[in-house]
Amino acid sequence: MDLLGKVLVRRTSAGVTAGMIVEAEAYIGEDDPACHAAPGLTARNAPLYGPPGRAYVYLNYGIHHLVNAVTEAEGNPAAVLIRALEPLDGIALMQRRRGRRAGMAASDLCRGPGNLSRALGIALTDNRLDLVTSPLTIQDWGVTIDDVSRGPRIGIRVGTDRPWRFWATGHPAVSGSRQVLR
């Protein structure tokens, strides 16, 4: 939940793109069946084990690159999947990367974790980058999201009972179901 309102910034030779995080989902530990750490330490999931503040980027279903922020102390596997952004900077570049026309709503560009990675130009080469000092950073631009909803994680088959998905209530860039837990 602390990542909501922060800004994901990507610097490339093509330009700078940035968007405010409006939806995120937590994956915590080897006892979380949906976390990539569930089977234990592997070459693929090693970034989850720390250090914190690094990117964990992986290829999902052989199609989409998904970006996570590693969150816990070294040796304690956990990360937050960044699911949606409100585009703030580099919108024309995001549109080109998504193959979209100029009239497309900005809120559609980074709705969903695969779309936001494509729009920002995030790839497997960004895995393990330091999210403070590298070309891929998470920054605090002083934005606070006051109305936050919480509900079940989506896009997975196991671990859906854990209410570890958070989003800016009513934001048009939020992906998937907006089922709120009471």
Q: Measuring CA to CA, how many Å separate 143 from each of 105, 114, 163?
A: 22, 24, 24
Cα separation, 140 vs 144, whole angstroms: 10
Give me 39's structure tokens. Answer: 């089977």
DSSP structure string for 94-113 = HHHHHT--TTS-HHHHTBSH
- 0.75 cut: is pTM over it? yes
Chain center to CA of 145: 17
Query: Residue 179 has what pLDDT?
Result: 56
Amino acid of residue 85:
L
Cα separation, 95 vs 135, whole angstroms: 20
DSSP letter at 78 equals E
List the chain pLDDT tens, one digit each, 182 residues.
799 999 999 999 999 999 999 999 999 999 998 899 999 999 999 999 989 999 999 998 888 999 999 999 999 999 999 999 999 999 999 999 999 766 778 999 999 999 999 999 999 999 999 999 999 999 999 999 999 999 999 888 898 889 999 999 999 999 976 555 54
DSSP letter at 130 equals B
pLDDT, tens digit (0-9, with 9 covering 90-100), for 108-126:
999 999 999 999 999 999 9
